């Protein structure tokens, strides 16, 4: 899976865009979160417009992860004639869309996505982020590989760390702040350095950056996430 990012910023770092990502599998377009800036990036993208099916996987309901979801759904339905799928383990995503005036026939809510002929499956993993919302990361699997996408999360779950170190998860995309306050809600660079040996760090991709410290990440041996190139598709055929 060639995951490409629409942006790599945290909620308070709009200069780097929302940390939302996309990839294409055959003619199916996947969107990982859909924050305030995502719809503006995607509405005329050939990968989105030309896809036979679109799935948006939501990690949680903070604005930088769902802020333009309602516009994406209504544009898809009314303009493109697409009934997109919204993956989120809880009904809260539907309740949010109800409040935003999105009628339920405009999209399909799927609480899980695995098996049943799916080209790519998503296994949700509960992660620690904030006290007032249940938040998820996903282990995303294709026949070729399994990767982990954290959403916003303070820690990488133990099961993911051990599967990564054993080799059954090939890459980790992790929320990583450079400066965390007294009550951290995000992962940190210090934390990642403390649990992942240097030789594995080129398969760990830091995202949701609170400032542009990509040079430091490069120096420390972490992987650098790829930015989205519309039409170049993130296609992994
Ligand atoms: Zn968040």
Per residue in 85-113, pLDDT (tens digit) is: 999 999 999 999 999 999 999 999 999 99
Residues in CB range of 187: below 8 A, 6 or more apart: 150, 153, 154, 155, 156, 174, 175, 176, 177
Q: Give whole-number Cα distances, 138 to 14, 160, 219, in Å.
A: 24, 10, 28
Whether 237 has a pLDDT exceeding 70, the answer reads no
Whether 138 has a pLDDT exceeding 80, the answer reads yes
Whether 179 has a pLDDT exceeding 90, the answer reads no
Distance 116 CA to ligand 1 centre (A): 31
pLDDT > 70 in the chain, percent: 97
Distance 119 CA to ligand 1 centre (A): 28
CB 56, CB 34: distance < 8 Å: yes
Distance 50 CA to ligand 1 centre (A): 30
Distance 185 CA to ligand 1 centre (A): 8
**Which CATH superfamily includes the segment(s) 4-227?**
Ribonuclease Z/Hydroxyacylglutathione hydrolase-like (3.60.15.10)
Distance 26 CA to ligand 1 centre (A): 30
Distance 98 CA to ligand 1 centre (A): 21
CA separation for the pair 56, 22 (Å, rounded): 9
At 144-160, the pLDDT tens digits run: 999 999 999 999 999 99
CA separation for the pair 77, 70 (Å, rounded): 11
At 187-203, the pLDDT tens digits run: 999 999 999 999 999 99
Distance 64 CA to ligand 1 centre (A): 7
Query: What's the average model confidence in pLDDT over 210-225?
Result: 95
Distance 51 CA to ligand 1 centre (A): 28
Distance 60 CA to ligand 1 centre (A): 7
Distance 62 CA to ligand 1 centre (A): 5
Q: Looking at residue 232, what is its pLDDT?
A: 67
Structure tokens at 217: 């990440």
Residue 181: band (very low, low, confident or very high) from pLDDT cuts 50, 70, 90: confident
Q: Looking at residue 236, what is its pLDDT?
A: 38
Distance 6 CA to ligand 1 centre (A): 17
Q: Which residues surround ligand 1, an ion (CB under 5 A)?
A: 62, 152
Average pLDDT in the chain: 94
pLDDT > 90 in the chain, percent: 89
Residue 52: band (very low, low, confident or very high) from pLDDT cuts 50, 70, 90: very high
Query: What's the average model confidence in pLDDT over 131-152?
Result: 96
Please, which contacts does 123-129 make with residues 24 or more away whose CB atoms are closer than 8 Å? 124/89, 125/157, 125/159, 125/160, 126/157, 127/59, 127/151, 127/152, 127/153, 127/154, 127/155, 127/157, 128/153, 128/154, 128/155, 129/60, 129/153, 129/154, 129/185, 129/186
Whether 71 has a pLDDT exceeding 90, the answer reads yes
Higher pLDDT, residue 80 or 184: 80
Residues in CB range of 32: below 8 A, 6 or more apart: 3, 20, 21, 22, 57, 59, 138, 149
Whether 235 has a pLDDT exceeding 80, the answer reads no
Distance 42 CA to ligand 1 centre (A): 21
């Amino acid at each position: 899976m060639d995951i490409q990012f629409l942006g790599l910023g945290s909620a308070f770092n709009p200069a780097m865009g929302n940390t939302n990502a996309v990839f294409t599998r055959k003619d199916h377009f996947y969107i990982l979160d859909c924050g305030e800036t995502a719809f503006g990036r995607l509405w005329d993208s050939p990968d989105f417009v030309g896809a036979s099916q679109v799935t948006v996987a939501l990690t949680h309901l903070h604005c930088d992860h769902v802020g333009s979801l309602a516009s994406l759904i209504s544009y898809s339905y009314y303009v493109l004639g697409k009934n997109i799928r919204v993956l989120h383990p809880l009904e809260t995503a539907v309740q949010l869309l109800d409040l935003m005036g999105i009628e339920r026939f405009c999209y399909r809510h799927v609480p899980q996505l695995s098996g049943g002929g799916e080209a790519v499956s998503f296994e949700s993993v509960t992660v620690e982020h904030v006290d007032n919302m249940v938040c998820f990361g996903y282990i995303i699997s294709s026949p070729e590989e399994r990767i982990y996408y954290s959403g916003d999360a303070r820690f990488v779950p133990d099961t993911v760390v051990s599967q990564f170190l054993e080799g059954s998860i090939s890459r980790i995309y992790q929320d990583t702040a450079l400066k965390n306050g007294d009550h951290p809600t995000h992962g940190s660079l210090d934390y990642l350095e403390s649990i992942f040996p240097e030789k594995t760090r080129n398969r760990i991709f830091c995202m949701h950056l609170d400032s542009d410290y990509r040079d430091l990440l490069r120096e420390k041996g972490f992987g650098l996430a790829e930015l989205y190139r519309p039409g170049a598709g993130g296609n992994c055929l």
